[in-house]
Every structure is written in C-alpha cells, then in structure tokens.
Amino acid sequence: MMEDENNQRIDGSSTTTKIKIVRRIQSRIIIGVALITMIILVIIIPITITLTKQTHMTTITSIETTSLPIITTDNIVMTTKTTNTITTTRLVTTATSGDSTPSLSSGSIGTYWSTEPSENALDGNISTEYTNHGICNSESPLSFQCGLNTGLYLTLEVKQATLIGFQIGTNKGWSYRDPLTITIEGSNSNKSELTLGKSWILIYNGTTGLTIDPGREKYGILQTVYYPQTSFRSYRILITSIRGESTSVSYSEFQMLGFFQYN
C-alpha cells in the first residue's frame, strides 16, 4: 500500500509539473503571437493622419469668366472679382520701388484711354481692356518704351491676401501691345501712402506668361509667385516690357491666385 501511495504521489507531482510546463508554453506562445501581430500592424498598416483646413481660409472652386489650370485639389483661386473687389488706381510711375502718380484719361503723355481704364483689367471680362501710353501719347512714333512703368495698384476688401500666382489676358486687337514682363509688389501700408515707393515690397519680377502669343482675348501661361508666402492688403503691378513697337500697352485681365482672409 505504501509503495502504491508513493507511486500515486510521484504520478500526481509529475502531472502537476507537466500542466505548469504546458501553461508556461501556452503563455509564451500567446505573448509571441501578440508581439508578432503588433509588428505586422506597425509595418503593414499605415497610420492615417487627417489634415483639416483652417477656418479662415476660403477656397473658390469655380471662375465665371475663364477656366484656369488647377494647381492642386485644395488650392485657392482668388480673383479680384470674388473678393468683393477693390479700390484700384491706374498709375504712371518712374520705376519699380519708385513713387507713382495717378494716370489721367486722355490721349496725351502719361494717360489711359477713357474707355479702357484699369478697372477693366480686374472685372473678370476678357473682352474689356486697360490701355496706358506711359511716356508716349496717341500720336507718338511707335516705340518699345511706350506704356512701360505704367500699371495699377489695388487694395482688396479683405483682411489679408497671399498671392501665389497670376495670369494675364491679352487685348482684343493688337499683339504688339501685349505686356511681356512685369513686376508685382505688395504693401500693408495705409491707402494714403500707396503712392510712395517705400511702401512697396517687390515679390515678383519676370514674365507675364505671354512670351508665346496665345491669341487675342486669351489668357497666358499661369505664372507662380515664389516669394515667401507673405500676406498683403494691396498689390501694385507695373509693366516693364511689351511685345512690339507701339504707342501704348494694353491687356484685358490680371487674374490673381492665392489665399485670402476676411477677418
């Protein structure tokens, strides 16, 4: 009997030991599977981060007067027409960063055609145009200098605007009057100081996108403004060269692309 009891105890102890070993193995297998699963999840399944737009940024997805190239699906078409427009002043100036004087309506030196004011370049209508003689008049000999250093400045009826690109539309009849190069400047100065050259910061100096003539009443190639994204309330556009010899410069639209903030 004693021997049988001893054998039973040995067998019972052995069984208990086996159960403990099995449980340890099972536990380790479960931990191992969990670790492998976590590794697979990290490597194979990417983390999704959702980006949301700031509430003060407005996106305009359509333009009534023309179809512009889309920069990205989330970009920003800002036009002077959709920003509740502007206060605009047609200009004659000495040079970029120089002081400017208002241009009057007539056919003499430093004037614009009465039926073709600067507002036409900002009305969203490619069939109207802005024409300025600059240092010339309507009777001057044809010259590459006519219409240069003229343009306009505009103050958007928004809190701030960040220009990232633009397109210029051609006039309806005279390719030699097309502007080929321009400067764009920005300012946050008061309106009373916008005639002063010191109020402006140069943000673009280059082609209008009309180097290749797109035809009459057509938009040129979209141009990008690479200046570090700084917001301005006012912008000044000045013509620095034209396509051919003429008595003036003439263009139908200055279309702006960028962000704008109302408040």
DSSP states of 136-165: --TTSPPBTTTTTTEEEEEEESSSEEEEEE
**Range list of H helices, 136-256:** none
Stated length of the chain = 263
Q: Please name the amino acid found at residue 193.
A: E
Q: Can you tell me the distance from the alpha carbon of 148 to that of 143, in angstroms, rounded to the nearest whole number? A: 10
Whole-number pLDDT of residue 34 = 53
pLDDT tens-digit profile of 198-244?
A: 999 999 999 999 999 999 999 999 999 988 768 998 999 999 999 99
Cα separation of 74 and 120, whole Å?
A: 29
C-alpha–C-alpha distance, residues 5 and 25, integer Å:
30
What SS3 state is found at 31? helix
For residue range 163-206, list pLDDT tens digits in order.
Answer: 999 999 999 999 999 999 999 999 999 988 998 999 999 999 99
* SS3 assignment, position 170: strand
Query: Which residue type is seen at 126?
Result: I
Class of domain 86-261: mainly beta
Amino acid letter, 226? Y
- pTM of the predicted structure, to 2 decimals: 0.68
pLDDT of residue 2: 44
Closest to 237 measured CA to CA, from 161, 132, 152: 152
Per domain, the residue ranges of the chain are 1-50, 86-261
